[in-house]
Amino acid sequence: MPIERPGVNRRDAIRELRRAPAWRLVRRLALPIGLAVLAGAIAGAAGPYHQTRLYHEAVHCQRSGGNCLDGETVSVTNKRTYVTTSASTDSQGGVSQTRTTHYSITWRAADGADRSRDVAEDLYDRAREGQPATVRSWHGAMVGIAVGDRTQWFAPDSGGTLLLWVLLGYFGLGLLLWGAFGWWDGLARFCGRIFFWMMAGTPVILGLGYALLYEVQPSVRVILTTVFAAAVTALGLVCLYRDLRYDES
């Protein structure tokens, strides 16, 4: 909490705090660290982004009748569903559980080894034991599987790396903005603002990453999801701004 003394209002106390040598040192450190994290994340994301673009070009080539992805004909040997349960705790201490059903198919590759992968429900429904399937790979990694007339594509390994770099860059941006406009009023408040910043931006960041990975085409569902994610982010940033303004008032 900001320093408060009798006869000194909060605005004056914060101004005095921001002029303190300790604060100036923290601010001087936060600015270059935030800038370095942001610049490093942009540089780090360049490689995975380029790889992801090459992957999309290969997929488009394959769909156009080219032979841009490696293909292997396999035989479906098993299919099963399983359920995982995750627990979450609300602000009142109540615990709620979420059950998620996963759909997995197993196939036998040309080398005789059995491999499994979680797939979408509609592809799972089409798969039958003994049925042939085609596994697509790119640079040695599985990126797609086709059963009958249904093909499911998976993001390459570079996709997950790209998302991590984007999240790190967003964190660096928050640290940079805090160093430019914020102030130190306690470790708990600082961590709370950083946490709130990350939570507010996560819907849009993940949505952007998903669009980059899967080249999402415009649709009513995509538009509604985008509007919802933007609204959540805007609401979070407004609340964070009001928190800063409240501390100055």
Tell me how far apart the terminal alpha carbons of the chain are, to the nearest angstrom: 13
Topology, domain 69-154: OB fold (Dihydrolipoamide Acetyltransferase, E2P) (2.40.50)
> pLDDT tens, 42-78?
999 899 888 888 888 888 888 887 778 888 889 999 9
Q: Is this prediction's pTM over 0.75?
A: no
Question: What pLDDT sits at residue 102?
Answer: 92
**Of 120, 210, 49, 47, whose CA–CA distance to 57 is shortest?**
49
Question: What pLDDT sits at residue 248?
Answer: 47
> pLDDT tens, 64-121?
877 788 888 899 999 999 999 887 766 566 777 888 999 999 998 878 888 999 999 9
Looking at the chain, which residues constitute the CATH 2.40.50.660 domain(s)? 69-154
